[in-house]
Copies of this chain bind each other. A is one copy, B any other.
Amino acid sequence: MATLRDVARRAGVSIATVSYVLNGTRPVSPEVEARVWEAVVALGYRPNRLARGLRRKRTHVLGLIVPDSANPFFAEIARGLEDLSFAHDYSLILCNSDGDPAKEQRYLGVLIEQQVDGIALVSASATPAHLALLQERGIPFVVVDRDLPGLEADCVLADNFQGGYLATRHLLDRGHRRIACITGPSDLTPSADRVRGYRKAMEEAGIEPLEVWVRRGDFRAESGYHAACFLLSLPPSVRPTAIFACNDLMAIGTMRAIGEAGLSIPRDIALVGFDDILLASYVIPPLTTVAQPTYEMGRLAGELLLRRIQARDRPPARHLLSVRLVVRHST
């Protein structure tokens, strides 16, 4: 609770001098400097960042909005961003939108009021309309993971199309022809791009995927389970011999369904996931999956943010991070 004034009084100087010593913003004589430091440690002085932020119009705080920070994928992004923030002496405010645009909007408001220096967000809505709020106020932001069509802004994405393509190609190379795909909510670009990659690979192989092979999920394990149950119930002639699940959680749900059906992976059904979450290597059999540089995405988002805070009017940067197929034992 000691304030600049207290330190100044104890050191017998003005508060301006103390400030100069603390920030090194102006030369101060050695004796005075020593007295000031003595007072600082004696009083356990800590600068008040609110006051500083108010005056400097820079808070050294960033905001992160994700649909669900308990989801390992977003948790990893958050971790990457937090690490970068800490390294640059920024703090991070964490927000969960639950995929609800209205909640996201409220959080944007809070972050603005909190005067954060920048915002990273995995947007809950598919259109960039709600970001006008940020743009007109000139608040730096970067969109992560999900592309917003027609938005002029920094963004960092994984190459989901490429990922879907690689996964499917891998299954095709293993000799599979009847390959199913369990998608995410289709209006989210990561999901849609993965499916596009799947279709592209199939097309290149001269296969027209049956409509029933493409099942819609919601990125949660439960939905993968249900989709897989449906696929397994198809008549043998059209039943898929391989499944590409658009994320690992749904792949794990799929594993359960396959196990319960008394089938074996990969002998009866091959399986590829997406994300390479930690669990993927621990399930039995270990899951072949497409790894995204999740942590890296968080870090990079932070870097772009800091860079833009420095120079507000650089042209927007678009980063497409490449993914990589991790072959394990489920294929």
Given the known interface contacts A82-B96, A95-B82, the answer about A50 and B48 at a Cβ–Cβ threshold of 8 Å is no
For A53, the chain B residues whose CB sits under 8 A away are: 50
Task: Report if A283 contacts B (CB, 8 A).
Answer: yes
Chain B proximity mask over A34-76: 1 for CB below 8 Å, otherwise 0 = 0000000000101111110110000101000000111010011
Within 8 Å by CB of A79, from B46, B68, B281, lies: B68
Kindly list chain B residues whose C-beta atoms are within 8 Å of the C-beta of A21. Answer: none
Residues of B within 8 A of A86 (CB): 95-96, 107
Q: Is the CB of B46 within 8 A of A50?
A: no
Cβ-closest chain B residue relative to A112: B46
Identical copies in the complex: 2
Q: Judge whether A50 and B82 touch: CB under 8 Å.
A: no
Chain B's nearest CB lies how many Å from the CB of A287?
A: 10
Q: How far is the CB of A156 from chain B (nearest CB, A)?
A: 18
Q: Are B279 and A255 in contact (CB under 8 A)?
A: no
List, in ascending order, chain B residues with CB within 8 A of A96's CB. 79, 82-83, 86
Do B95 and A94 touch across chains, with their CB atoms under 8 A apart?
A: no
Cα distance, A109 to B70, chains bound together (Å): 26
Q: Which of A93-114 contact B (CB under 8 A)?
A: 93-96, 107, 109-110, 112-114
Does the CB pair A70–B70 fall under 8 Å? Answer: no
Cross-interface CB contact of A51 among B54, B89, B253, cutoff 8 Å: B54
Contacts of A76 in B (CB 8 A): 70
Rounded to whole Å, the gap between the CB of A16 and the closest CB of chain B is 19
Spell out A's residues near B (CB within 8 Å): 1, 44, 46-51, 53-54, 59, 61, 68-70, 72, 75-76, 78-79, 82-83, 86, 89, 91-96, 107, 109-110, 112-115, 136-137, 221, 249, 252-253, 255-256, 259, 278-279, 281-284, 295
Contact A46 B109 (CB under 8 A): yes
Q: Which of chain B's residues have a CB closer than 8 A to the CB of A49?
A: 113-115
The residue in chain B whose Cβ has the minimal distance to the Cβ of A252 is: B282
Q: How far does the alpha carbon of A64 sit from the alpha carbon of B264 in the complex, in Å?
A: 44
Q: CA separation between A61 and B256, bound complex, in Å?
A: 42
Give the CA-CA distance A101 to B1 in the complex, in Å.
24
Is the Cβ of B69 less than 8 Å from the Cβ of A79?
yes
Q: Is the CB of A54 within 8 A of B46?
A: no
Q: For the complex, give the distance between the alpha carbons of A107 and B51 in Å.
A: 19
Nearest Cβ in chain B — how far from A204, in angstroms? Answer: 33
CB distance from A225 to the nearest CB of B (A): 9
CB neighbours (8 Å) of A70 from chain B are 72, 75-76, 78-79, 295
- Bound together, the chains give a CA A82 to CA B114 distance in angstroms of 16
Distance in Å: Cβ of A62 to nearest Cβ of chain B: 10
Known: A91-B110, A249-B278. 14 other contacts (CB 8 A): A46-B109, A47-B113, A48-B115, A49-B114, A54-B54, A61-B93, A69-B69, A69-B78, A69-B79, A70-B295, A72-B72, A86-B95, A92-B94, A278-B279
Give the shortest distance, in Å, between A119 (CB) and chain B (any CB).
13
